[in-house]
Amino acid sequence: VVRTASRPLAAGDISTFQSFVFLGGQLSLALCVLLCLNYYSIILGAASLSLVITYPLMKRITYWPQLVLGLTFNWGALLGWSAIRGSCEWGVCLPLYFAGVMWTLVYDTIYAHQDKRDDVIIGVKSTALHFKEDTKQWLSGFSLAMLLGLCTAGMNCNQTFPYYSAVAAVGAHLAHQIYTLDIDKPEDCWKKFASNRTVGVLLFVGIVLGNL
What is the tens place of the pLDDT at every residue in 119-154?
Answer: 999 899 999 999 999 999 999 999 999 999 999 999
pLDDT score of 193 more than 80: yes
Whether 81 is covered by a domain: the verdict is yes
> Within 13 A of 99's CA, how many CA atoms are on the CB side?
24
Q: What is the pLDDT of residue 2?
A: 76
Whether 41 is covered by a domain: the verdict is no
Whether 134 is covered by a domain: the verdict is yes
Per-chain mean pLDDT for the chain: 96
Among residues 183, 179, 176, 166, the alpha carbon closest in space to that of 115 is found at 183
Q: Which helix (H) or strand (E) holds 181?
A: none
Q: Which helix (H) or strand (E) holds 5?
A: none
Structure confidence by residue, pLDDT tens digits, 141-190? 999 999 999 999 999 999 999 999 999 999 999 999 999 999 999 999 99
**Same domain, yes or no: 56 and 22:** no
**Same domain, yes or no: 57 and 2:** no
Q: Do the Cβ atoms of 2 and 116 come closer than 8 Å?
A: no
Q: What is the pLDDT of residue 160?
A: 97
**Mean pLDDT, residues 47-71:** 95
**Same domain, yes or no: 32 and 135:** no
Whether 167 is covered by a domain: the verdict is yes
Rg for the chain (alpha carbons), in Å? 19
**Same domain, yes or no: 107 and 4:** no
**Same domain, yes or no: 90 and 154:** yes
Residues 191-201 as b/e (b if ≥16 CB within 10 A, e otherwise) read ebbebbeebee
CA distance 147 to 164: 10
Q: What is the span of the domain harbouring residue 95?
A: 48-210
Residue 5 binned pLDDT confidence (cut-offs 50, 70, 90):
confident
CA distance 43 to 35: 10
Number of structural domains, the chain? 2
**Same domain, yes or no: 181 and 141:** yes
**Same domain, yes or no: 151 and 75:** yes
**Same domain, yes or no: 63 and 154:** yes
Structure confidence by residue, pLDDT tens digits, 61-108? 999 999 999 999 999 999 999 999 999 999 999 999 999 999 999 999
Whether 43 is covered by a domain: the verdict is no
Whether 188 is covered by a domain: the verdict is yes
Whether 42 is covered by a domain: the verdict is no
**Same domain, yes or no: 32 and 52:** no
**Same domain, yes or no: 123 and 28:** no
**Same domain, yes or no: 88 and 182:** yes
Q: What is the pLDDT of residue 3?
A: 79
**Same domain, yes or no: 16 and 65:** no
Residue 197 binned pLDDT confidence (cut-offs 50, 70, 90):
very high
Q: What is the pLDDT of residue 200?
A: 96
